[in-house]
Amino acid sequence: MQIRYEIYAGFPPESLLRAIIFLHQRVFVGQTPEELLQEFEDVKSRHMLTLVALDDQTVVGYKMGYQRKPGHFYSWLGCVSPDHRRQGIAGELMRLQHDWCKSNGYRTVRTHTRNQWRDMLILNIRHGFDIIGTVTSANSHTTLVLEKAL
């Protein structure tokens, strides 16, 4: 299996975007494709970046982010197919994202995660993120805020 990575400033082509939505729904439950597409549209104007991992023509991972403010990037959404985990795909998507951020003038990357997604939390810590705070939502979910200097 040879994983290929593609980088898009903004959204990827429509067919890949639909495949990303399908993958996202496999991993995270609770949003319809229309709701997720609307979230994507809401951040489209924020200097968005999309990275896609492909096994042949199948999207097996993705990572999206956008400019939080000048010099600061927010690594927003991403996941890897359960069938393709533990192969370094998430780490490679992160490395590619951070390389792109550095070459495009960003100085820090911020992300949010929850304790329930421990693999993502551990991956972020292994790649140099520090936990800088927490946010508690109205429904009492605690989100960890992580940041990394580039």
Q: Cβ-count burial of 55 within 10 angstroms (0-12 exposed, 13-18 middle, 19+ buried)? A: middle
Residue 54: predicted pLDDT:
97
CATH superfamily membership of 3-110: Gcn5-related N-acetyltransferase (GNAT) (3.40.630.30)
**Is the pLDDT score of 140 beyond 90?**
no
Which residue ranges make up each domain of the chain? 3-110
Sequence-distant (6+) residues with CB within 8 A of 59 are 16, 19, 20, 22, 23, 52, 53, 81
Distance, CA of 75 to CA of 94 (rounded, Å): 9
Binned at pLDDT 50, 70 and 90, residue 138 comes out as confident
pLDDT band at 116 (very low <50, low <70, confident <90, very high): confident
| Burial grade of 59 (CB within 10 A; 0-12, 13-18, 19 or more) | buried
For the whole model, what pTM was predicted?
A: 0.91
Residue 30 pLDDT more than 90? Answer: no
Report the pLDDT value the prediction gives residue 83, as an integer from 0 to 100: 93
- CA triplet 7, 85, 1: central angle to 5 degrees? 70
Enumerate the H helices of the chain as residue ranges.
14-27, 33-43, 89-103, 118-126
Residue 148 CB coordination number (10 Å): 20
Q: 69-102, pLDDT tens digit by residue? A: 999 999 999 999 999 999 999 999 999 999 999 9
pLDDT at 149: 97
Contact (CB, 8 A) for 92 and 52:
no
pLDDT of residue 40: 79
Per-residue pLDDT at 6: 97
Give the pair of three-digit tokens for residue 65.
Answer: 């982010």
With helix as H, strand as E and coil as C, how does 62-74 read? EEEEEEEECCEEE
